[in-house]
Amino acid sequence: MTVIAVLGAGKIGEALLSGLLHGGHRPEDLLFTERYPARAAELTERYRVRGVEVEEAAKQADVLVVAVKPQDIDPVLAELAPLLGPDSLVVSLCAGLPTALYEGRLAEGVPVVRVMPNTPMLVGEAMSAISAGKYATQEHLALVKDLLTHVGQVVEVPEGQQDAVTALSGSGPAYFFYLVEAMIDAGILLGLPRTLAGQLIIQSAVGAAKMLAESDEHPVLLREAVTSPAGTTINAIRELEKHGVRAALLAAIEAARDRSVDLGKAHEG
């Protein structure tokens, strides 16, 4: 079996380890790196996967999944540079970091695949977008796609679209959580207990998401089906439009895209 090392066992890194194990990968074919010894011991006990140093991971693994924070990438690449060759595959889960960054720091010919996942990976419902670097082949993409299907759905996009993907689906769950938070507060304002308001809104969100996923209808048509003439919903929609919620959301996603671009530029040169 292919040996896979996850560099950085935070929430996303742990979720990937868990998904790979549930997908049939053996613990002995997985490795991870983690800077905090207590956290490393906890993960080894939980998953029976060995925690190692970056150097050992680079020497033993066929695939290295880089799941550190973007601001921590420089020392990781410095450690990897003398250790990797074209037979390794680097998979970047770091928001905003282009494949060219890795290709410029690592040896000539090291294949890199850029991935933008999101936090529903923690419950096996991630949306991940993958893009090939200069040296990555269709076989590399197929391997990465196979790995990520254990934790959700996967699409392939041109790398030029990755900053937009980061803003839309990478950060997307936060927008939904923000909206649910606001709606729960509204329920409290209207006199409902917090627990009941949360139950009502969360199940409404789950049901709406399932309708979106399973229906062939456009979201506009699904919304219109709830919006009867002179009813409660159209009054609510009027207020949302009056307060510029749609425009604010567009601006917010553009701002997230711009930040993703900035993260990549911060490591240029």
Q: Report, as an integer, the average pLDDT of 96-116.
A: 96
Per-residue confidence (pLDDT) for residue 1, from 0 to 100: 63
Average pLDDT for the chain: 95
Question: d(Cα 130, Cα 235) in Å, to the nearest integer?
Answer: 41
Per-residue confidence (pLDDT) for residue 266, from 0 to 100: 83
Q: Report, as an integer, the average pLDDT of 230-257.
A: 96
Per residue in 158-184, pLDDT tens? 999 999 999 999 999 999 999 999 999
Question: d(Cα 149, Cα 167) in Å, to the nearest integer?
Answer: 21
Per-residue confidence (pLDDT) for residue 265, from 0 to 100: 87
How many CB atoms lie under 10 A from the CB of residue 246?
10
Buried b (16+ CB within 10 A) or exposed e, 110-125: bbbbbbbbbbbbbeee
β-strands 50-51, 30-33: how paired? parallel
Q: What angle do CA 65, 85, 90 make, to 5 degrees?
A: 15
Per-residue confidence (pLDDT) for residue 267, from 0 to 100: 76
Per residue in 75-100, pLDDT tens? 999 999 999 999 999 999 999 999 99
Q: Flag whether pLDDT at 131 surpasses 90.
A: yes
Per-residue confidence (pLDDT) for residue 90, from 0 to 100: 98
- Paired with 155 in beta bridges are 129
Residue with tokens 């998904």: 19
Half-sphere exposure of 231 (CA within 13 A, CB side): 7
Q: Are 89 and 111 within 8 A, CB to CB?
A: yes
